[in-house]
Amino acid sequence: MSLEQYVANSIIELAPVFATFYLVALGHSLFEKAGLLDLAIDGVFFMGSSIAVRAAVASGSPIVGTVVAAIVTMLLGVALAFLMTYLPISHGAIGLSMMFLGYGIGIIVGYPARLEVGSIAMYAYSEGWAIAIMAISIAIGATVHIILKYTKLGAAIRACGENPHAASSLGVNVLLTRLIAGAVGFAIMGAGSSFFTLAWQKFWDPKSYTLGYGWLAFTVALTSGRHPIVLMPISLVFGGLIFYRVRIGVMYGVEKDVANLVPFIAALAAMLICYATKLKKVLAPPASLGKVYYKEERTV
């Protein structure tokens, strides 16, 4: 195999991995930029990837799978954003409940479809899609970045994350802004999670398919300071480590279990670098992330 071929193959292999991590982390970041703490991520991830299977099997098209997953998770995002903004209850509690709800829905909705058809490979995206999926993900990310950084809506989202009381006083409709961030953020997460089953794994066996990939995306978002552009290289490196961990292990003669730790060690290292340097300020979390907001609270 020539070098070019090798690189091309790697890109095609890695594209769905990148797209999964990047989009889930991106949607999650957008949601959190508005001050909404997202502990539902792993449940949403699982639910999205499973609903995608169900819809793809039912329609025969992976694209329908992705779209349906995005729509369903979007509804969940709207519900979460509403509850977290309108009620004086803990973001953590609602988020974790939603996580378990996501697991439940995922198993009930998706798995029967998988059993019915035996293998999901024929309903998944073909290899020809890999580059397109990667390109679309990057385009979505760039759009989110431009909106967040350069538009009035973006300023409103960031304002809600920093100080929703002040934002409201400045004339921002906090509820509406957060509903938008919730809808768009979760739709992106849903689309990303659909690529997990339909473009990356292309098979679904509960024995090898464990929960927890959502938390990996969570780590990616955290490491990148929720920044749409910084997320790109971090998702790629992180996705690559996850994807190649076994091969890396074999290459350097390390045990499989140790090799499995590599992505997490890399994440830890990246976080340490972020927080020990000036990057800390640039990538700081929104000041009101996870704080209860409701109108009659004092706005000193």
Ligand X SMILES: Nc1ncnc2c1ncn2[C@@H]1O[C@H](COP(=O)(O)OP(=O)(O)OP(=O)(O)O)[C@@H](O)[C@H]1O
Residues in touch with other proteins (CB under 8 A): 147, 150-153, 155-156, 158-159, 162-163, 165-173, 287, 295-300
What is the nearest approach in angstroms of ligand X to the Cβ of residue 292?
13
Should residue 281 be labelled a site residue for ligand X when binding is judged by CB under 6 A? Answer: no
Residue 261, CB-side half-sphere exposure with 13 Å CA sphere: 7
Q: Which is nearer to other proteins, 168 or 219 (CB)?
A: 168
What is the nearest approach in angstroms of other proteins to the Cβ of residue 150?
5
Q: Which is nearer to ligand X, 278 or 298 (CB)?
A: 298
What is the nearest approach in angstroms of other proteins to the Cβ of residue 61?
31
Using Cβ positions, the residue closest to ligand X within the complex turns out to be: 298
Should residue 257 be labelled a site residue for ligand X when binding is judged by CB under 6 A? Answer: no
Tokens of 214: 């959502």
What is the nearest approach in angstroms of ligand X to the Cβ of residue 90?
19
Q: Which is nearer to other proteins, 127 or 297 (CB)?
A: 297
Residues sharing a CB contact under 8 Å with residue 3, sequence separation 6 or more, in sequence order: none
Residues sharing a CB contact under 8 Å with residue 237, sequence separation 6 or more, in sequence order: 266
Whether the CB-CB separation of 223 and 21 falls below 8 Å is answered with no
Cα torsion at 7, 12, 14, 16 (round to 10°)? 170
Residues sharing a CB contact under 8 Å with residue 15, sequence separation 6 or more, in sequence order: 130, 131, 133, 134, 199
258 binds, options other proteins, ligand X, none, Cβ within 5 to 8 A by partner type = none
Binding site for ligand X (CB under 6 A): 296, 298
